[in-house]
Amino acid sequence: MSFNTFGHLFRVTTFGESHGPAIGCVVDGCPPGLRFTVDEVQAALDRRRPGQSRFTTQRREPDQVRVISGTMDHPEGGLVTTGTPIGLLIENVDQRSKDYADIAGSYRPGHADVTYDLKYGLRDHRGGGRSSARETAMRVAAGAIAAKVLPGVTVRAALTRIGEIEIDRARWDWAQVSENPFFCPDPETVPVWTDYLDGIRKRGSSVGAVIEVVAEGVPAGLGAPIYGKLDADLAAAFMSINAVKGVEIGEGFNAARLTGEENADEMRTGNDGRPYFLSNHAGGILGGISSGEPVVARFAVKPTSSILTPRRTVDKFGTEEDLITKGRHDPCVGIRAVPVGEAMMLCVLADHLLRHRGQVGTTPVWPFQRG
């Protein structure tokens, strides 16, 4: 079962509400002997941290992470994993719960308020409680540890669309991603998005986005038939991020428009005797198993549901009302989903690497030698 845990061998369990005393996670199954520093985890958290530009919520959370367990001090500095569960904790410090007092019983359209009440009969209304994007901070922390399980693997993500405006993929430059508040890989799109999103923000509106995540250096062979497919697990991982409504691998929905000839990734033999692919329509996954090509995934984030335009809704007693969602919100929650997408890719790949080891041991001898 997996109410609040994901992964099988590299397992991440998160807990905590937006406005509770703290949020935390337990990373279980991390192999022993891996070195990391608290600063590395902190650096990952800082990328997701709110309040860094006017395009994300102004909640000021230092997101200072504390390592509770599962490590020892390494004689040469930093920490080393011991194979026991790694507990991570972040105290919440900038809750403004009173922002939510007057809508405690109201169902904000697009939020999970109504479904939590429908399921549980009660809910922590403060800042969305458990359904807040605040929970994703722990995913990012876990992702920083997952990265240590994956030496040689590079996972990067970028924003490719905000609302109606998509980047020009011909100008894609990974180096640009850290140079603007949007994680945008196309420098010429940055000023366009800036103007566009300022307009959205100023009129209290919001807009959706698309994030692309690319993992390079992924060993071939990760994944498994039939329900342990790498792409199936990625789909679940991305869809579990708040506000995500669609997931694609490789060509994604565009594959529906292609013919078999167009979509075929042809193969040749490299100098090392191993096959390589002449294209990567598959997004690095065939039959649920990684091919050695970059794993390419995309996910769509809906517009932030909290907006300043009044929307018709009801409260838990059935009273109809018009609701404006106050509080501090992201005009495009997709921006902060970029590091979260990276973290989910890292966690899923770490899990599948361990699962592969468990199922197959070492990579089988390949390519085959003739007679």
| Element (DSSP H or E) covering residue 39 | helix 38-48
Rounded to the nearest 5 degrees, what angle is found at the Cα of 223, between the Cα atoms of 217 and 225? 155
User: Considering only CA atoms, which of 301, 286, 208 is closest in space to residue 251?
Assistant: 286
Provide the minimum distance between the beta carbon of 249 and a copy of itself in the complex, in angstroms, as a whole number: 5
Ligand-binding site membership of 328 (annotated): yes
Nearer to a copy of itself, 145 or 224 (CB): 224
Integer-rounded Cα Rg, in Å, for the chain is 22
Separation CA 363–CA 358 (nearest Å): 11
Nearer to a copy of itself, 175 or 286 (CB): 286
> Which of these ranges, 38-46, 55-63, 150-158, 288-296, lies near a copy of itself under the rule CB under 8 A?
288-296
Q: Looking at 286, 294, 327, 328, which residue binds a copy of itself (CB under 8 A)?
A: 286
The interface mask with a copy of itself, positions 235-264, x = CB under 8 A, is: xxxxxx-x--xxxxxxxxxxxxxxxxxxxx
Task: Report whether 14 contacts 56 (CB < 8 A).
Answer: no
Provide the minimum distance between the beta carbon of 167 and a copy of itself in the complex, in angstroms, as a whole number: 12
The interface mask with a copy of itself, positions 302-321, x = CB under 8 A, is: xxxxxx-x-xxxx-xxxxx-
Residue showing tokens 């995934």: 297
User: Considering only CA atoms, which of 132, 47, 131, 66 is closest in space to residue 94?
Assistant: 132
Ligand-binding site membership of 54 (annotated): yes
Separation CA 338–CA 354 (nearest Å): 25
Judged by CB under 8 A, does residue 199 bind a copy of itself?
no
> Which of these ranges, 45-53, 169-177, 187-195, 350-358, lies near a copy of itself under the rule CB under 8 A?
350-358
Ligand-binding site membership of 362 (annotated): no
- Cβ-in-10-Å burial (0-12, 13-18, 19+) of 109 comes to middle
Q: Which residues within the stretch 141-160 sit at the binding site for a copy of itself (CB under 8 A)?
A: none
Ligand-binding site membership of 69 (annotated): no
Residue showing tokens 């409504």: 245
DSSP state of 338: H
Q: Which residues within the stretch 171-190 sit at the binding site for a copy of itself (CB under 8 A)?
A: none
Q: Which two tokens stand for residue 323?
A: 């609701």
Q: Which residues within the stretch 215-234 sit at the binding site for a copy of itself (CB under 8 A)?
A: 220-229, 231-234
CA atoms within 13 A of residue 291's CA, in its CB half-sphere: 23
Separation CA 26–CA 89 (nearest Å): 9
Q: Looking at 63, 135, 212, 342, which residue binds a copy of itself (CB under 8 A)?
A: 135
Ligand-binding site membership of 304 (annotated): yes
User: Considering only CA atoms, which of 293, 292, 299 is closest in space to residue 253?
Assistant: 299
Judged by CB under 8 A, does residue 342 bind a copy of itself?
no
Q: Which two tokens stand for residue 148?
A: 């240590």
Q: Looking at 83, 168, 169, 324, which residue binds a copy of itself (CB under 8 A)?
A: 83
Ligand-binding site membership of 205 (annotated): no
User: Considering only CA atoms, which of 355, 350, 327 is closest in space to residue 148?
Assistant: 350
Judged by CB under 8 A, does residue 202 bind a copy of itself?
no
Judged by CB under 8 A, does residue 2 bind a copy of itself?
yes
Judged by CB under 8 A, does residue 196 bind a copy of itself?
no
Judged by CB under 8 A, does residue 76 bind a copy of itself?
no
Instruction: Reduce the DSSP state of residue 344 to 3 states and report it.
Output: helix
Nearer to a copy of itself, 175 or 332 (CB): 332
Ligand-binding site membership of 298 (annotated): no
Annotated binding site: 48, 54, 130-132, 242-243, 287, 302-306, 328
Annotated binding site for NADP(+): 48, 54
